[in-house]
Chains A and B, each alone.
Chain A
Amino acid sequence: GQQVQQSPASLVLQEGENAELQCNFSSTATRLQWFYQHPGGRLVSLFYNPSGTKHTGRLTSTTVTNERRSSLHISSSQTTDSGTYFCANYGNEKITFGAGTKLTIKP
Chain B
Amino acid sequence: ETAVFQTPNYHVTQVGNEVSFNCKQTLGHDTMYWYKQDSKKLLKIMFSYNNKQLIVNETVPRRFSPQSSDKAHLNLRIKSVEPEDSAVYLCASSYGRGEVFFGKGTRLTVV
Partner of B45, one of A31, A37, A95, A99: A95
A97 contacts B by Cβ under 8 Å:
yes
Q: Using Cβ atoms and an 8 Å threshold, which residues of chain B touch A97?
A: 35, 42-44
CB within 8 Å for A42 and B100 given contacts A93-B55, A94-B56, A99-B42:
no
Q: Using CB atoms, name the residue of chain B closest to A41.
A: B104
B99 contacts A by Cβ under 8 Å:
yes
Min CB distance B31 to A, Å, is 9
A interface with B by C-beta (< 8 Å): 31, 33, 35, 37, 41-45, 48, 84, 86, 88, 90, 93-97, 99-100
B interface with A by C-beta (< 8 Å): 2, 33, 35, 40-45, 48, 55-56, 58, 90, 92, 97-105
